Amino acid sequence: MLRALIVDDEPLARERLRSVLRTEASIELVGECGSGTEAIATIRSTALDLLFLDVQMPRGDGMQVLAEIPAENRSGIIFATAHERYALNAFETEAVDYLLKPFDRERLLAALDRAREFHRARQLRNAEPKPDDPSAVVGAPKKQIESFAVRMDGRLVFLKPDEIVWIEADDNCVIFHLGTGRLMLRETMTAFVARLSYAKFPRVNRSAFVHLDRIKELQPTLHGDYAVLLNDGTKFPLSRSLRGELIKFASAGT
């Protein structure tokens, strides 16, 4: 059961969300807020799994609401707004989905599926032994996913992680770059990458994850920055904030 909160200053928008959520047995609607300040107070005092968040609201917009909540305490975020221009900011907060008003029931149900996947993935991560857990085996490799299915255009496509060269975020879609071509899935990067092994797919910049075994080298560029060069010649700028993480992944794999 996912505990959900609706944050939107428009009563009609809240009513539309409420009417769908109440038909979903796996969702428990625990409250509604009409302003940013009210939302912050409620979030701090209520255990949540899912947050429907408008962007433009009185007394604190959606981004200001998130800024008041530590990243590790945030529930799954689904933005629901009439404004496209905030999509990039939403991606940077690793939102589960971005609903552009007016959206229909089918689109909302798809967002709920992603929220459930996000919640399951977070539960699995939380269940993993921590480094200081006596039950954790130092240096033991994480269990890898052998294959997974993605629903695309009414069909299921089965992929193995090693078939993927790199993964690209494109708005609310994920593009798989394979050795044989490309596949596109309508899903947020956050929801999808949670299904893969982070040890196999380190993030190199805001919109790209790469298969660690496909990296040929790191090339220095201007001002002390680096680019990631893949075996097939594809090159990405490496975010300075992610350089240490990538080196750590590479060292762990050697």
Q: So where are the chain's domains?
A: 2-125, 148-252
- Mean pLDDT across the chain, nearest whole number? 80
- Tens digits of residue pLDDT in 53-83: 998 887 778 888 888 877 666 778 899 988 8
> In terms of CATH, what superfamily is 148-252?
LytTr DNA-binding domain (2.40.50.1020)
Distance CA(142)–CA(72), nearest Å, equals: 22
pTM: 0.54
Residue length of the chain: 254
Q: Is the pLDDT of residue 38 over 70?
A: yes
- The per-residue pLDDT for 135 is 39
pLDDT at position 189 is 76
Is the model's pLDDT at 213 over the cut of 50?
yes
User: Which has more confidence, 245 or 235?
Assistant: 235
Cα–Cα distance measured from residue 3 to residue 125, given in angstroms and rounded to the nearest whole number: 19
With bands split at pLDDT 50, 70 and 90, how would you rate the model's confidence at 7? Answer: very high
144-201 confidence digits (pLDDT tens) = 556 666 666 667 677 788 889 999 988 778 888 998 888 887 777 776 766 665 557 8
Question: Quick one: average pLDDT of 120-138?
Answer: 55
For residue 10, give the nearest of 52, 48, 41, 40 by alpha carbon: 52
| Model pLDDT, residue 138 | 38
What burial letters (b/e) apply to 48-59, b meaning 16+ CB within 10 Å? Answer: bbbbbbbbebee
pLDDT at residue 92 greater than cutoff 80: no
Q: What is the pLDDT of residue 66?
A: 82
Q: Above 90 in pLDDT, residue 50?
A: yes
* C-alpha dihedral sign at 161, 165, 168, 173: negative
pLDDT over threshold 70, residue 220: yes
- b/e code 226-240 from CB counts within 10 Å (16+ = b): bebbbeeeeebebbe
As a CATH number, domain 2-125 is: 3.40.50.2300
Distances (CA, A) of 139 to 113, 136, 246, 251, 253: 34, 9, 17, 12, 10
